[in-house]
Structure 1
Amino acid sequence: MKVAVMGAGAVGCYFGGMLARAGHPVTLIARPQHVQAIEREGLRLETKGFDERVRLAATTEPAGAKDADLVLFSVKSPGTEETGRQLMPFLRDDTLVLCLQNGVDNAERLRAVLPRHEVAAAVVYVATEMAGPGHLKHHGRGELVIEPARASERVAQALRDAGVPAEVSSNVRGALWLKLILNCAYNAISAIAQRPYGENVAGAGIWEVMHDVVDECVAVAQADGVQLPADPHLATRKLVESMPSQCSSTAQDLARRKPTEIDYLNGYVVRRGQALGIATPANRVLWALVKLIEGKH
């Protein structure tokens, strides 16, 4: 498959890099410092199993997606609509755009600006960071759960062949909500403390705060008609076992003085709670504190 990665940060570079390593032609559409480093030396993929430099194309321009069979769409949630509009002129009619984004409504928002194209949501479970220009560091996991679409099975098989566990599920909405709940429990606390998950859960009262956050999220999800695919409290407990050294993407954004996605995580739960008449005080506090820190930058 010809693959383009729109917004090639830590998530996009991991999945794009794995597909390129397996022999697929991949173009990363990324920030200039990453493009320059990748053009010089390739993308460094540092994982627990290997540390290699993978050769692939890189550009700063949306035209890098021209004629792609698959676009991995991994921009930050606030940029979904604008980036979709930039991408539209370069998509074929049969290109599959796969959303690898945090939050639960990005695919829906992207379909609104790409009405003639097939957009599928995916749930991403991976711990990664950009350790430097053109240098992707993988801390753990790496699964994808993909929404059914015309090319979903083909894409899932290509990912599996590339060493990425991938499945197609008819309940991606529930899986997205479960991922949202995990993000709401972990991301803001990691951002406020600027520490990894394993250190944070050892703090006094932190598990109790996370339990309250999860309870609120579950109440909102149930009121919204979402069928969660697993016990969210158990999933929250188990997450730290698989990625204890991970700092959240929200923490990484604050550390780099960049805008966060908190409005699409805890903030989204607060807004949906308001619309559905459900109180979400724990989520509101975490959202407000991250916004306060974000405002200092």
Structure 2
Amino acid sequence: MPYSSSSSPLTQSIAILGLGAIGTLMAWHWREHTLYGVSRDASTCHRTLIDQQQAAHQLTIPAWQHEAIDWLVITTKASATLDALQSLQKQLPQVQNILLLQNGMGQQQQVADWLSQQRYSATLWAGISTEGAYRQSAEQVVYAGSGDTHIGLWQAQHPTASMPNGLTVVDDIQQRIRAKLAINAVINPLTAVFRCRNGELVSHGEYRQALEALASEVQQCFTALQQPLDFDLKERSLAVAQATARNQSSTLQDVLHQRPTELDYINGYLIRQAQQLDIELPHNRRLLAQLSE
């Protein structure tokens, strides 16, 4: 049963590692809490958030000096997660809860295994968000669309932590992450390959045909993994693409700005899972090959 923390009166101490688009947006949502930024040079972080009414909000986030904190929230790319945590190895005993708020799958279990090996007591949470944000410049983030942020314990435990504002705790977070990954595995690589906005996957005949073929392959993959989706992926992907028609996917933004993408933890994750069952995913492989070129 989900429950929301939006009315929690308790102030939390939160350090955010990865003050990009989503990290900055969450910092703005959590501005009434005690906030820190995690940076290599321990410098104060300055960000401007442009809200949906085009008003500018200035955020000044001091560097985490390894004070005891309630939450370490990681919003980096999935591929950077474990390295980022390992760089904070000496400071992790000061952390009560770790929240991975990212796209993709695979990094959550990597972190869980590493924390167990190191015998850290921090509780691991994972989350997904349908909030929309993008970086307009290095220090300026645009709040593009309201959404929900759900989190849950990565491994079965009883949640006892007080929550930062605006989070909804659920007991099926892995299922929700798989559902979001499935949609991302369809929309993100296609928009990046075709260099198109989400809505063009619906309106353009060739792009829509590619979406339907990829969605069918991804849906069959989850079924073979005995993790069947409880919705028709083709119809859901078309609906999401239409609802976000003017948006550029995060993968397309990464490609246009010549940044590494997260697809190794989205389509790449599916390919690795399928390999264990000797299942081929030709559409997924072809898209990753095209983007790697």
Normalising by structure 1, report the TM-score. Answer: 0.83
AA paired with 1:197?
N
Task: Please give the secondary structure, in 2, of the residue aligned with 1:71.
Answer: strand
Task: Indicate the residue corresponding to 2:127 in structure 1.
Answer: 122
- Cα deviation code 1:163-207 (max 9, x no counterpart): xxx422222111111111111111112222333212343222222
Q: Is 1:289 aligned with 2:293? A: no
Separation in structure 2 between the aligned mates of residue 138 and residue 179 of structure 1, nearest angstrom: 20
Separation in structure 1 between the aligned mates of residue 58 and residue 126 of structure 2, nearest angstrom: 27
> Where in structure 2 are there 5+ consecutive unaligned residues?
1-11
Question: How large is the RMSD of aligned CA atoms in angstroms?
Answer: 2.4
Aligned partners of 1:273 and 1:279 also within 8 Å = yes
Task: Indicate the residue corresponding to 1:45 in structure 2.
Answer: 49
Aligned partners of 1:139 and 1:245 also within 8 Å = no
Correspondence list, 1:57-76, <5 A: 57-59=61-63, 63-64=64-65, 66-76=67-77
Task: Indicate the residue corresponding to 1:213 in structure 2.
Answer: 214
Task: Indicate the residue corresponding to 2:180 in structure 1.
Answer: 179
AA paired with 2:24?
C
Give the count of matched residue pairs. Answer: 274
Give the % identical residues: 21
- Cα deviation code 1:22-79 (max 9, x no counterpart): x1121233588xx7771xxxx32213246232433144xxx55642211111111221
Aligned partners of 1:181 and 1:232 also within 8 Å = yes
Deviation at 1:15, TM superposition (A): 1.2
Correspondence list, 1:137-156, <5 A: 137-148=142-153, 154-155=162-163
Instruction: Evaluate the alpha carbon distance shift between residue 84 and residue 229 of structure 1 in structure 2; reply closer, same or farther with a 3 A threshold.
Output: farther
Q: Which structure is higher in helix share?
A: 1
- Cα deviation code 1:91-113 (max 9, x no counterpart): 34652111111112221111223
Deviation at 1:124, TM superposition (A): 2.2
Task: Indicate the residue corresponding to 2:195 in structure 1.
Answer: 194
Task: Indicate the residue corresponding to 2:27 in structure 1.
Answer: 16
Q: Is 1:267 aligned with 2:268? A: yes
Separation in structure 2 between the aligned mates of residue 130 and residue 246 of structure 1, nearest angstrom: 13
> Where in structure 1 are there 5+ consecutive unaligned residues?
161-165, 293-297
Task: Please give the secondary structure, in 1, of the residue aligned with 2:279.
Answer: coil
Instruction: Evaluate the alpha carbon distance shift between residue 181 and residue 31 of structure 1 in structure 2; reply closer, same or farther with a 3 A threshold.
Output: farther
Separation in structure 2 between the aligned mates of residue 72 and residue 47 of structure 1, nearest angstrom: 22
Task: Please give the secondary structure, in 2, of the residue aligned with 1:178.
Answer: helix
Separation in structure 2 between the aligned mates of residue 271 and residue 205 of structure 1, nearest angstrom: 28
Separation in structure 2 between the aligned mates of residue 36 and residue 103 of structure 1, nearest angstrom: 29
Q: Is 1:26 aligned with 2:35? A: yes
